[in-house]
Every structure is written in C-alpha cells, then in structure tokens.
Structure 1
Amino acid sequence: MSQLEIVSRREFAHPINKLWRAWTNPEHLKVWWGPNGFTNTIHKHDLRVGGTWRLTMHGPEKGNYENEARFTVVEPEKRLEWDRVSQPLFYVTVVFDKIDEDKTSVTFKMKFYEQKMYDTIVKFAPEKNEENFDRLESELEKM
C-alpha cells in the first residue's frame, strides 16, 4: 500500500451479484452512498469505461457537494475504478472478491495524487468509509 492510499475492507454476508447491483444500480446507490446523514441526487450514472458519474451529496446539516467522476474500469462482479474530476481529486478502486456463494469481500481504495490532500482526507475518511459500508449493509438487507 502506498503512503497516499486509504484502504477500507469489509466482508458482507451476501452474494457477489447482490453487492455488484448495490454498487452499480443508481436506485440502490443513491440510498447508501456517503457517510451517515447524507442523501444523494444522482444526475448521471453511465456505467462504462469513459462514462460519467455525476451526483450531488446533500449534507445532514447544510450544504450540497457536487461530485463527478469518470469510470476507467468496469469488470462486472470483479472491479470498478473511477477517477474523480471534482475536488478532492483521487482515484478509486473497488474490488469484489467472492468468498463463497453467500459471502463477498469488498476492498475500497482511495489513491491520492498529492500529499497535502491525502493528509487532509485521511483524518476522517477511514471512519466515514465504515459508515458508508454500514449504510451499504442496510441497503443489502432491504434488497
């Protein structure tokens, strides 16, 4: 792991195809994406290499946070990668590993381009990524 990476992992007691749907279907994604208290408006989700993902994250207290990324790797039920083109800039890799028929491991990696941005984000991202995984778990239970 590089010094400019934040890596979060979790095992989910759900099959890999369900995890993939939760990560790639905007109807599910908008429900669980982001830390506790956030809601989302997904404006575009063109899931293909070169496709754009544009959303607004609505903060629990105040504020709207515009996000845009470009998908660089889309390997169904294996891997998703995207490059953020809105601040803060970083590259995301999500790896899906089938443990067995009803268990999947997800590795979420954020790779930063600059030390200063990494130093800022690493102070809160690991905890917020865990909140995100908790929200994903809740959405998986409803699916």
Structure 2
Amino acid sequence: MAPFSTTRHFPSTPADVFASIKDGERLARWWGPNGFSNRFEVFEFQPGGRWIFTMIGPDGTAYPNESVFAHIEADRQVVIQHICPPLFELTITLEPENDGTRLDWVQAFSDPSVARAVAHIVEPANEENLDRLSAELGLDKRAG
C-alpha cells in the first residue's frame, strides 16, 4: 500500500510553518484530528530526540504515543518515527512556493495491513490536522 500523502499550500513562510512544529506549546494546540487535545510529557525537538505524549479524544479516551525525531532540517523537513503501535514514519516537507509554503505530509505505515485497516481514520484525520495547523498559523479560525 502506498503511503498516505497530502499537500497543502499555506500563505506563510517556511520559517513560520516550521516554528509551529518546533515549539511544543504550539504543536500541542494543533496536533491531531478535530476535537483532540494533547498532553506532552517529553518533547526533545532535535535529531534523535524523544516525543512522548498523550492524545485525548473528544470522549476523554487517552491515546499514548511515543515517537522519535529521526531527521530535522530547519525550515525544510521533519521526519517523525512513531515507535509504538501502530508503527509509521511521518515526513513533513516545507517548500517555498508562490508567496507561501507547500507542505507535503507523507505518512508510511510499516505494515500494509495496518495501513489498510486505519485508512478510513488516517485520511480524514491528516486533513483535519492540517486544518488545525492553518488555524494555528492564524489563517483559518474555523478549524479546530
């Protein structure tokens, strides 16, 4: 199965978009689908750094997460390896484009059967995640 992939244009600089990723307080506000909140326990934004957090669903269910920042290139790319099930790698790439930034979001699951099983959740959730990023950037007050 091919990775899940989406692209979004933001009328913000790559540096502005990157700033909303590298700042743990800001990332906690927009990370995840609509209705979710986050509690970060460890946020080491550096190559090899750990990111341990709990996503809290709209119904109060807690979803523990553990990831590693595999690669960070300021204002350009962040690669996150989700090291607890379900295993996946998320690559966020920022490219300057027409008075803004093109963000490419590519999420590749280790197990194709898991990817197929969660596709109905992941595809809309990734779009909602980017809607929330847009709101964090002050571009769309309706998302969240």
Q: Same fold (TM over 0.5)?
A: yes
Q: Deviations over 1:22-50 (max 9, x none)?
A: 11111110101000000111111111111
Task: Determine whether 1:45 maps to 2:43.
Answer: yes
The DSSP-based 3-state class of the residue aligned with 1:62 is coil
Letter in 2 for 1:139: E
Q: Deviations over 1:73-131 (max 9, x none)?
A: 1100111002111111111111001114x410111111111121110121221111111
Query: Does the CA-based 8 Å contact 1:4-1:112 persist in structure 2?
Result: no
| Residue 128 of structure 2, aligned match among 131, 137, 141 | 131
In the TM superposition, 1:1-143 aligns within 5 A as 3-100=1-98, 102-141=99-138
Q: List gaps (5 residues or longer) in structure 2.
A: 140-144
Distance in 2 between residues matched to 1:115 and 1:17, nearest whole Å? 34
Paired-residue identity, %:
29
Instruction: State the superposition RMSD in angstroms.
Output: 1.2
Query: Does the CA-based 8 Å contact 1:70-1:82 persist in structure 2?
Result: yes
Letter in 2 for 1:118: A
Distance in 2 between residues matched to 1:4 and 1:53, nearest whole Å? 26
Letter in 2 for 1:141: G
Letter in 2 for 1:54: I
Q: List gaps (5 residues or longer) in structure 1.
A: none
The Cα shift of 1:62 comes to 2.7
